[in-house]
Amino acid sequence: MMLAGTLCLVSGFLPWPAFLKLAGRTIPVLSFVVAMTLVTELVDDAGLFRVVTGRIASLGRGRVFLLWLLVIALATVSTVFLSLDTTAVLVTPVVVLLAVHAKIPPLPFALTTVWLANTASLLLPVSNLTNLLAQDRLALRPMEFAVLLWAPALVGVLVPVVLLWLAFRKNLRGRYGPQPAHHVRDRPLLYVSGGTVVVLLPALVSGIPVAFPAMAAALFLLVVFLWRRPSTLRWSMVPWRPLMLASGLFPLMEALHSHGLAQVLTPVAGSGDGLGDLLRLAALGAGAANAANNLPAYLAMEPVAGSPVRLAALLVGVNLGPLVSPWASLATLLWHERLQTLNLRVRWGGFAVAGLAAVVLTLPLAVLALWLSNGMP
């Protein structure tokens, strides 16, 4: 994909002025992605997520349903403040192991993390790469962004959770035994990592460009780990796959827009702010995400989402919609890789059917919530 983007630039298919404008917009976004990935990888290595899940196991008081509710809270908070990839990559393994040690069927917990990694990613710009691009286009502060999207974001959490409970309610009954204690290798490192996250989270919603606090936190933790545990640092912590994907898709889509892609999509996507037009745009975004991936789906249709509420409807489609195909979002692929390392198998046929049912129910309700909360006529 990166080769395709490079060829667009070298061949002149992407004009140089358009590339410079694109670079000015996307370099801060990609810098944030790299910095936040490093932060979450390092705090995970310090043991923060395992300590949190251990605390969750204690708070569950031996009741499976209460434990599941606490996992929902963890996955939602992780997605909203640390991004969907963090939930898919770092929360999934500790949650699945928590279920295994508790002798609870792990599939309901695994499916909870991947659904919420996608559907809980609407509220803040930092929750999803698509949101960061939309925030840049709308020039909104994080809290203004949340005001625009709070209602569909709430639907995106509540409806999938209800569906998961209906599907797995028999597995979520009963009690579980004590969990094995987690040994903290370096307690000062754990405290420093936890404190860094506590300081970082409000900074990400303060209105400061999010790349700055994220890069500051990443640099601070890199220095701390160089001092305390240098063997932890490795090149695989850098999110090469998202970077390669984005570095190719951004110029490719910009080149297509330079040659009239928006004009082709406008008759299909519509142009109004009415409920029907918003539903059509969200459905188109969800369909394109499941056919290809949510990032190119967003990039392709961003220019035809000409108002804030239309752009919000597009986000509803590309964020809540990728529950059917495994490639619809990178988070789902990363989630599946983590499950394979844990020897937990997922049947993609069943995954697709369940995801389709969730999308069919969640998407219209989320668009309706968006339309009503923004005072649409």
B/e letters for 325-342, b = 16+ CB within 10 Å, e = fewer, are bbebbbbbebbbebbeee
Q: What share of the chain is helix, strand, coil (3-state, %, to 5)?
A: 75, 0, 20
- Examine the pLDDT at 9 and tell me if it is beyond 70: no
Per-residue confidence band for 115, with pLDDT thresholds at 50, 70 and 90: very high
Quick one: pLDDT at residue 270? 75
Give the mean model confidence (pLDDT) for residues 39-63: 88
Quick one: pLDDT at residue 315? 97
- Examine the pLDDT at 1 and tell me if it is beyond 60: no
Determine which of 3-12, 163-172, 316-325 has the lowest per-residue pLDDT on average: 3-12
- Examine the pLDDT at 374 and tell me if it is beyond 70: yes
Quick one: pLDDT at residue 80? 96
CA 343 to chain centre: 24
- Examine the pLDDT at 309 and tell me if it is beyond 60: yes
- The C-alpha atoms of residue 127 and residue 119 are separated, in whole angstroms, by 10
Query: Each residue of 119-135: pLDDT tens digit?
Result: 999 999 999 999 999 99
Determine which of 80-84, 260-264, 291-295, 327-331 has the lowest per-residue pLDDT on average: 260-264
Backbone angles phi, psi at 175, to 5 degrees: -130, 165
Quick one: pLDDT at residue 259? 66
CA 244 to chain centre: 17
- Examine the pLDDT at 40 and tell me if it is beyond 70: yes
- The C-alpha atoms of residue 195 and residue 74 are separated, in whole angstroms, by 18
Per-residue confidence band for 319, with pLDDT thresholds at 50, 70 and 90: very high
The pair of structure tokens assigned to 364 is: 């219209």
For residues 236 and 254, the model is more confident at 236
Give the mean model confidence (pLDDT) for residues 1-5: 58
- Examine the pLDDT at 117 and tell me if it is beyond 80: yes
Quick one: pLDDT at residue 60? 84
Quick one: pLDDT at residue 260? 67
- Give Cα separations from 215 to 36, 58, 161 (angstroms): 8, 34, 34
Residues 6+ apart with CB under 8 A from 231: none
Quick one: pLDDT at residue 2? 57
**pLDDT over 70, % of the chain:** 94
- The C-alpha atoms of residue 338 and residue 93 are separated, in whole angstroms, by 6
- The C-alpha atoms of residue 89 and residue 86 are separated, in whole angstroms, by 5
For the whole model, what pTM was predicted? 0.90
DSSP assignment letter at 183: P
Give the mean model confidence (pLDDT) for residues 305-313: 92
Per-residue confidence band for 353, with pLDDT thresholds at 50, 70 and 90: very high
- Examine the pLDDT at 280 and tell me if it is beyond 90: yes
Mean pLDDT for all residues in the chain: 88
